[in-house]
Structure 1
Amino acid sequence: MAGLGPFGSAPVLAVGVSGGPHSLALAVLARDWVAGRDGRVLALVADHGLRSGSGEEAAGVASRLVTLGIPARVLPLGLPPGSALHERARAARLSALIGAAEAEGAPWLLLGHHIADQAETIAFRALRGSGDEGLSGMAPARPGGGALILRPLLGLPPAQIERFLAAEGLAPVRDPSNDDLRFARARLRRALRDPAGESHGTAALAAAASAFSIRRSRMREAVAARLAVAACFREEGWVRLDQTALGTDRVAEATLSALVRTIGGGGHPPARANSTALLARGGGSLAGALWRGTVLCREAARCAPPLLALPGALWDGRWRVVSAPDGAWIGALGQGGPRGGLPATVAAGLPALRDKGGRLLCVPALEGGARLEFRPISGPIA
């Protein structure tokens, strides 16, 4: 945990535990670490529900953790079948873990990724054509919304972690899907041929991630400085953009990419070539964002469909419902609605609340009547 703090007195940690060797070892290490600091730890076990018996398996992992003196909670995900199953499962698991950590009052969420996971991630992203941001790999610490995500084992090989677990007399649960060659990551893991995580190749990939991470940090500092002079964020979820101050260099491209991702609510930044082209045009639409003159806003036609406005619901990847009238639905205002002095393109993409019959109840950003909060994307998903 050195270098990941400060943690203060009586820290409260949440740990994502699958029952596999690395997350189980992390839970045990976290238990011992907080015990010497008058803190507490909570294990969070996600049940993907993707195979028969997964619920019983998750309950068994939680029960075992309790016998080790580690309180545990099972999080059923209920993932529907379909394409990109592993990617959707990872995203759903992380979202559920962060939400549970926040609900339990744990500011830190610990994950059991190790150096071989880092090498696999770098190789996988390189094959997909990722740029500097993606090739920076997983960060040891990064904001996760409701909790700070920490990866204390990221620099350790999995073989060392498993030796610790064996010394503790603990046998982990093995997930058979990790070796299922129908999935791209399993095939890549097989190709790397280093299950122990102790080869020179794994070390080289992890070192490359560190080098790209330094470049990423420097670029983020430059982007923050450029945003300070070129962009004025408005509480309605749009930006007043000074194109002259934005510039046309590489920092301008990265700044525009970050703005598009935040305003468009995307899970990933747009491709660099697309951001470069948008900057060269000086306007247009990209990844759900619309840039016209000095206005950068959500493109109304790309907004998510309406959903029931229950407290905690996230609409369009950007707006979280805090409170709303019973039975209200949240969706894009669209053309012809109230503008409140805003540009028409901005107003059309604002969240509006309607009843089941489609009658407009209110536009919270303009009129109140409900509470929503804008949740901008704060960083890469890693």
Structure 2
Amino acid sequence: MNPATADFFPALAALGPFGPAPRLAAGVSGGPHSLALALIAQDFCRAQGGSLLALVVDHGFRAESAAEARWTAGTLAARGIAARVISLGLPRGAALQERARAGRMAAMLSVCASDGYPWLLLGQHRLDQAETLLFRALRGSGEAGLAGMAAARAAPEAMILRPLLGTPPAALEALLAARGILPLRDPSNDDPRFARVRLRRSLADPGGEGQGTAALAEAARAFARRRAAAEEAAAARLAGVARIDPAGWAFLPPGALGADRVAVASLAALVRLLSGDEHAPSTAATRALLARGEGTLHGVHWQGGWLVREPVACAPPVPALDGAAWDGRWRLRGHPPDGFLLGALGAARAGGLDRKRRRGWPARLLAGLPALWHPGDPAAAPSIPALEDGPGTPFRLDFCPAGGAISGYKGLENKNGER
């Protein structure tokens, strides 16, 4: 084991526990910081009897990107690190960096889910965190946004971990130099057309070791602690007054939350959960909904205490295949019969169900539930997993909202008792 990598182990271990023989995945671009992360993670896994899979994403919007991905995979393989190249083929156009980040993340998480890697490591460092705080401050983000990137975030497919957020990039460059590795350099990281590049230059601290960068990173950590405390308070408030069902709906009596900041944060978290959106609605919009005690926000309708997904806001149906994701909330596991679709039950189908099968739930709640049906057989009744009893079907739907569960909330379990 190289002692240089062991210096980074405490920051990674603090994001565990990983248990015996952990299976970690890591996003590796071929740049210095992600390559250093791969070296650290490989030695960490070996020390624990586990394994590492490096995920190399080729976006495809530069002619040389495919060759760079092959070089990265070869460089990793030469050091005993298993690597997989994922080709995206993203076209050039507006919001290029944002689309690239989203596409890369989705592709890596998909591999984590399909191949059984519960943790995905990313290589953002102290300077990246400082840039994020400045970028969000300039866009008028609130306290939650100023917390910067989270060191650990739950996604439906895997835990996303950033163990290097407190590490200056100069330390990672030094690690590579000690191993004799010359990394790739992405020219877009020096393109002043991008706001993040301009912010980085304004810091005048390429090594991330200056006092200004350290102070910004510490500010992000302070905001993160405040965000965690606020999330815990919101979860505790919801646990006392709301029922959140694993079928993707909730019951919250109007006025039960109160009207303070915790109440607003609690309702925003609940709407985010039920809508499948990655981010919560704005504070102003949530406060207005809380004051009314009913209404619609982010495709979630609140009336008579019921918070349900509106079917008109749901995503279009998708083929019902193993692993299919739908509406930012649901993932299909197993193998329904061929030719079935997964989508919202809809008002017409919900209204046609007899009262006994509804389980006492209102038809407008059922209308936004996921269901499976065969478009070529209109006489066949739809399969509604939330209403099925017992494990007799060869498939199931897991409630996996895109933004993750409500941090600290302990009451949401599926029918198998799993969180």
- TM-score normalised per structure 1: 0.92
- CA 178–230 in structure 1, closer or farther in 2 if over 3 Å, else same: same
What percent identity do the matched residue pairs reach? 56
- Indicate which of 364, 367, 371 corresponds to 1:345: 364
Which residue in 2 is equivalent to 1:335?
Answer: 347
Q: CA deviation at 1:337?
A: 1.5
Deviations 1:158-185 (A, max 9, x none): 1121122112111001111222333332
Superposed, 1:208-247 pairs within 5 Å as 208-247=219-258
Q: In 2, distance between residues paired with 1:277 and 1:240?
A: 19
Say which SS state the counterpart of residue 45 (structure 1) adopts: strand
Name the SS for the 1:15 alignment partner: strand
Residue of structure 1 aligned with 2:397, choices 372, 379, 382:
372
Q: CA deviation at 1:27?
A: 0.8
- Name whichever of 111-120 and 154-163 sits farther off: 154-163
Does structure 1 conserve the Cα–Cα contact (< 8 Å) formed by 2:276 and 2:327?
Answer: yes
Q: CA deviation at 1:58?
A: 1.1
The DSSP-based 3-state class of the residue aligned with 1:243 is: coil
More displaced stretch, 256-265 vs 341-350: 341-350
After the TM superposition, which residues 1-382 of structure 1 pair with which residues of structure 2 at under 5 Å, given as runs?
A: 1-2=9-10, 3-322=14-333, 323-338=335-350, 339=353, 340=358, 341-357=360-376, 359=378, 361-367=382-388, 371-376=396-401, 377-378=403-404
SS at 2:348's partner residue? Answer: coil
Question: What's the Cα RMSD here?
Answer: 2.1
Instruction: Give SS of 2:251's match.
Output: strand
Cα separation, 1, equivalents of 2:53 and 2:61: 24
CA-CA distance at 1:213 after TM superposition = 0.9
User: What is the CA–CA distance in structure 1 between the aligned matches of 2:200 and 2:304, rounded to whole Å?
Assistant: 47
Distance 1:51 1:354, change over 3 A: farther
3-state DSSP class of the match of 2:372? strand
For residues 62-99 of structure 1, give each alpha carbon's deviation from its aligned partner in whole angstroms, at most 9, with x where no partner exists.
11100011111112234355432322221221222223
Other structure's SS at 1:337 match: helix
Instruction: List per-residue Cα deviations over 1:93-113 (Å, max 9, x = no partner).
Output: 122222323433333222111
Summarize the Cα distance change of 1:125–1:296 in structure 2 as closer, same or farther, 3 Å threshold: same
Q: Which moved more, 1:345-354 or 1:152-161?
A: 345-354
Shift of 1:320: 1.1
SS of equivalent to 2:48: coil
Find the aligned partners of 1:324 and 1:351 in 2 and give their Cα distance. 14
Seen in structure 2, the aligned counterparts of structure 1 residues 39 and 332 have a Cα distance that, compared at 3 Å, is closer
What is the Cα deviation at residue 275 of structure 1?
1.0
Deviates more, 1:212-221 or 1:37-46: 37-46
Cα deviation per residue 1:170-202 (whole Å; 9 max; x = unaligned)? Answer: 100111122233333233333333222122221
Alpha carbons of structure 1 residues 201 and 348: separation in structure 2 relative to 1, 3 Å: same
Partner amino acid, structure 2, of 1:331: G
Distance in 1, Cα, partners of 2:104 & 2:332 = 21
User: What one-letter code is carried by the residue in structure 1 that aligns with 2:374?
Assistant: D
* Structure 1 position 119, deviation (Å): 0.5
Question: For residue 335 of structure 1, what is the amino acid of its counterpart?
Answer: A
SS in 1 for 2:232: helix
In 1: Cα distance, 2:99 partner to 2:377 partner? 31
Amino acid in structure 2 at the alignment position of 1:374: F
* 1:336 counterpart SS class: helix
Cα gap change, 1:22 to 1:349, in 2 (>3 Å): same
Aligned residues of 1:265 and 1:288 also touching (Cα < 8 A) = no
CA distance in 1: counterparts of 2:128 and 2:139, whole angstroms = 16
State the distance in 2 between where 1:79 and 1:364 align. Answer: 35
Cα distance in 2 for residues equivalent to 1:82 and 1:282: 42
Instruction: Output the CA distance in 1 between the equivalents of 2:405 and 2:193.
Output: 30
Report the CA distance between 1:358 and its aligned residue. 8.0
- Amino acid of the residue matched to residue 397 of structure 2? L
**Does the CA-based 8 Å contact 2:273-2:405 persist in structure 1?**
no
- Indicate conservation of the 8 Å contact 2:151/2:162, yes or no: yes
Query: Runs of 5+ in structure 1 lacking a partner?
Result: none
In structure 2, the residue corresponding to 1:5 is in which secondary structure? coil
Given the two structures, how large is their TM-score scaled by the length of structure 2? 0.85
* 3-state DSSP of counterpart to 1:58: helix
> Tell me, what secondary structure is at the counterpart of 2:349?
coil
Q: Deviations over 1:346-377 (max 9, x none)?
A: 12212233334583643333358653221133
